[in-house]
Amino acid sequence: MRNAFIETLFDLAERDERVWLLCGDLGYSVLERFAQHYPGRFVNVGVAEQNMIGVAAGLALCGKIVFVYSIANFPVMRPLEQIRLDVCYHNLPVKIVSVGGGLAYGPAGYSHHAIEDLAVMRSMPNMTVLAPGDPVETRLATQAIVSQPGPCYLRLGKAGEPVIHVTPPAFEIGKAIFYREGRDVTLISTGGMLQTVVTAADQLREAGCAARVLSMHTVQPLDEAAVMAAARETGALITVEEHGVGGLGSAVGETLARGGWPVKFVPLRLTHTAVSHADSQEALRTSLGLSVQGIVAAARSIS
């Protein structure tokens, strides 16, 4: 996903001189092309994320569209006060890009596990929150947020995520991508869990269970119409996210509560307990129930 992001950003910068990129001394082997071609619009602020957000806010006040880039929690948790006061309060066009969302940096331990970021960012005023499901969605999301007014948060995988969409789907901020039809249960995915969800839907189909699949690339604003349609038409919903409480599952649960439609609902996500061990992303996902088997079991329990 990160390669798809930087390639798209490079093209956007070529067409729009307002586009800037700031990083916190990270992104080596990824950001060099942008830095070499647009040295006047690239700043490595160093290991100073609070300053990075402050500089971005200043540039935005001067009419620039500013992307800030770092890994996991670093562009979110460390400078949260600056995001809240400098960016969100003033509704500035600063686009915060976090690479390695979820457990992508699993071997590095809890300091690098970005598993509260969606909850934090969707609670910020004026913030649009996106977590694309594959490189195709990443390109489309990057293009979309350039023209999106105000601040945006773009949560990406680390690298190597497979392409799920054979052809580019229609993409609109706040509108889920309807990936597959199904009437027995709806699987709603956000971020890098899309491949796992699609594989689970394949297994369910082989077992006679038709699972609808929605790629919810935008967590804020949520596509409430798609959620309520799924509740009415399938009667059972499962959200799948590499995140804890407060993310997609919470957003969907709030929507269902307001809608008042009777529906079976299971949010597959991390618990409030911190992930206290380091391991590969796949191993951590499996141990926490975010696997094909975990999704299939949840679907069979409610469909």
Per residue in 250-265, pLDDT tens? 999 999 999 988 999 9
The residue length of the chain stands at: 303
Supply the pLDDT for residue 28. Answer: 85
If asked whether residues 145 and 15 sit together in one domain, one would say yes
Look up the pTM and report it. Answer: 0.97
Is residue 161 assigned to a domain?
no
Rounded to whole angstroms, the Cα distance separating 282 from 280 reads 5
Exposed/middle/buried for 96, CB within 10 Å: 0-12, 13-18, 19+? buried
Q: Is 52 helix (H, G, I), strand (E, B) or coil?
A: helix
Q: What is the mean pLDDT of residues 102-123?
A: 95
> Are 267 and 294 spatial neighbours (Cβ–Cβ below 8 Å)?
no
Is residue 220 assigned to a domain?
yes
Where residue 292 sits, what CATH number does that domain have? 3.40.50.920
> What is the domain extent for residue 212?
177-302
Q: Residue 270 is encoded by which pair of tokens?
A: 């991390």
Across all residues in the chain, what is the average pLDDT? 96
> Are 252 and 201 spatial neighbours (Cβ–Cβ below 8 Å)?
no
Tally the domains of the chain. 2
- For tokens 């596990």, what's the residue? 113
- For tokens 């916190």, what's the residue? 24
Sheet with 236-240: strands ordered across: 177-180, 211-215, 185-189, 236-240, 264-268
Q: Give per-residue pLDDT as tens, 230-285.
A: 999 999 999 999 999 999 999 999 999 999 889 999 999 999 888 888 999 999 99
Q: Is the peptide bond prior to 132 cis by the omega test (within 30 degrees of 0)?
A: no
Is residue 166 assigned to a domain?
no
Boundary-marking domain end, from 104, 122, 156: 156
> Are 137 and 173 spatial neighbours (Cβ–Cβ below 8 Å)?
no
If asked whether residues 227 and 144 sit together in one domain, one would say no
If asked whether residues 192 and 151 sit together in one domain, one would say no
Rounded to whole angstroms, the Cα distance separating 70 from 91 reads 21
Q: Residue 118 is encoded by which pair of tokens?
A: 């969606």
